[in-house]
């Protein structure tokens, strides 16, 4: 019997728990790659482990880069409404041996990582600058 591809495993996982779309699980892997390859995401680039705060920052930045002002809508279409949802996804991937849990990793660490409205909507709102008149 041939080994299942990561894509197939993710699709099965999404079918067993319909809270999150398969795209959300794939996005976690893409965000992990993003954190590893983009300067400024890692506090300690030499470390193998990615901290939750680093992963969340990578998710936020990748979401903005990839989806722009629609990032929040895209995530919500996948069933992701908060950083806690990303934590659920990560720990489901861990439970299914698709990711490895670090010694100090806890699902609770994803709670309150950032506010979706601030992170994805306010980043695209134009700021009004008042000019002084002389």
User: What tens-digit pLDDT sequence spans the chain (134 residues)?
Assistant: 557 788 999 999 999 988 999 999 999 999 999 998 887 776 666 667 888 999 999 999 999 999 998 999 999 999 999 999 999 999 999 999 999 888 888 999 999 999 998 998 876 665 555 555 55
SS3 letters across the chain: CCCCCHHHHHHHHHHHCCCCCHHHHHHHHHHHHHHHHCCCCCCCCCCCCCCHHHHHHHHHHHHHHHHHHHHHHHHHHCCCCCHHHHHHHHHHHHHCCCCCCCCCCCHHHHCCCCCHHHHHHHHHCCCCCCCCCC
Domain ranges of the chain: 6-117
Buried b (16+ CB within 10 A) or exposed e, 17-51: eeebbebbbbbbeebbebbeeeeebbeeeeeeebb
Write the CA distances from 1 to 8, 11, 41, 75, integer angstroms: 14, 19, 40, 35
**CA pair distance 58, 30, nearest whole angstrom:** 9
Q: In what helix (H) or strand (E) does residue 114 lie, and over which residues does it extend?
A: none
């Amino acid at each position: 019997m041939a080994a299942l591809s990561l894509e197939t495993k993710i699709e099965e996982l999404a079918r067993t728990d319909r809270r999150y779309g398969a795209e959300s699980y794939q996005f976690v892997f893409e965000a992990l790659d993003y954190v590893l390859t983009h300067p400024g995401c890692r506090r300690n680039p030499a470390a193998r482990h990615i901290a939750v705060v680093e992963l969340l920052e990578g998710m936020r930045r990748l979401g903005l880069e990839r989806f722009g002002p629609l990032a929040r809508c895209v995530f919500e279409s996948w069933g992701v409404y908060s950083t806690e949802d990303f934590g659920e996804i990560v720990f489901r991937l861990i439970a299914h041996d698709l990711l490895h849990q670090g010694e100090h990793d806890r699902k609770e660490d994803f709670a309150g990582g950032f506010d979706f409205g601030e992170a994805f909507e306010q980043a695209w709102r134009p700021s009004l600058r008042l000019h002084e008149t002389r």
